[in-house]
Structure 1
């Protein structure tokens, strides 16, 4: 519901919340978190909301609502900081998709590594394959037209990296019994 509320905000309010490289450089750090709740259009909002519902369906019982929100916040900040430091050519960004890529990896990699879950492995391979294809072939022009802007593939890779790191930490904690 929060992404719908943020999408309905007046454009001037949304402008204060979006990721903008110059604004982060000027110390407006909240944008590293809030940009991921904003979207380019209502179709973009809907696609990302469906992605979040898919993540919730993939989550096991250890993923409480609080844990999900904390991990989404961590992924949001990480994606923004990596965009800011590694991809300065990305001047502005909104959307939850980078965070969603991270959540999928964070949710599915531990079952692959700890339980040898073949289904989770196939889903992870499909997600990584799709992202690799999108990076090689470029974003789909029809998808960009639907969402109302350019797809920032770097954010997807940064989210995937964050999910990978989070999953490895989760696996270590499970192996240590914490």
Structure 2
């Protein structure tokens, strides 16, 4: 039988993340919150952060909510509400700044997918520190997916579904961010292994 993390401390943070994104979609706040390079350069710097929580359309939101749910299934019990919030906020800022600095061809950007790549990578590192061999497999699998996207380009079918180009470079930025967030876990694990 599955032992899912239904305790409120594990369940509420991802539910709030989905709720906030849904509220932003319901009130159509993209014009105010999406990453828009021209507006960021004119001083609307909050967009670097808030762009992670708005979506191109309802299908885009649905895909990202599915990702939140999957990560909760895999790693929901690893975080406290404070750690979850810190990881989400740090990765949102990291991904937004990464898109701004390293992806000059991206003028409009929305969505949680980059951030979620970072969250799942952090979870895989936590898996490894707990002695779960599946952590190595999932870590490698995510990086193979990232490499495949970099060589083959964005998935056209998903692009049609979300009515936008899949920002594969943002996925790479998110995965790097998750790896960096995982370094303290790995260092602690290695110190304890000696």
- Provide TM-score, normalisation by structure 1: 0.89
* Aligned-partner Cα distance in 2 for 1:149–1:111: 33
> Of 84, 89, 113, which aligns to 2:100?
84
* Aligned-partner Cα distance in 2 for 1:72–1:99: 7
| 1:22-171 equivalent positions in 2, closer than 5 A | 22-59=38-75, 61-112=77-128, 114-171=129-186
1:161 CA drift (Å): 0.5
RMSD: 1.8
Residue equivalent to 1:9: 27
1:60 CA drift (Å): 5.3
* Aligned-partner Cα distance in 1 for 2:189–2:27: 41
* Aligned-partner Cα distance in 1 for 2:36–2:90: 18
1:121 CA drift (Å): 1.3
Structure 1 pair 170–29 and aligned structure 2 pair: CA distance change class (3 A)? farther
* Aligned-partner Cα distance in 1 for 2:27–2:189: 41
* Structure possessing the higher relative contact order (Cα contacts under 8 Å, 6 or more residues apart): 1
Provide structure 1 residue ranges, at least 5 long, that are not aligned to the other structure. none
* Aligned-partner Cα distance in 2 for 1:66–1:27: 30
Task: Give the aligned length.
Answer: 174
- Provide TM-score, normalisation by structure 2: 0.83
1:110 CA drift (Å): 3.3
| Secondary structure of residue in 1 paired with 2:77 | coil
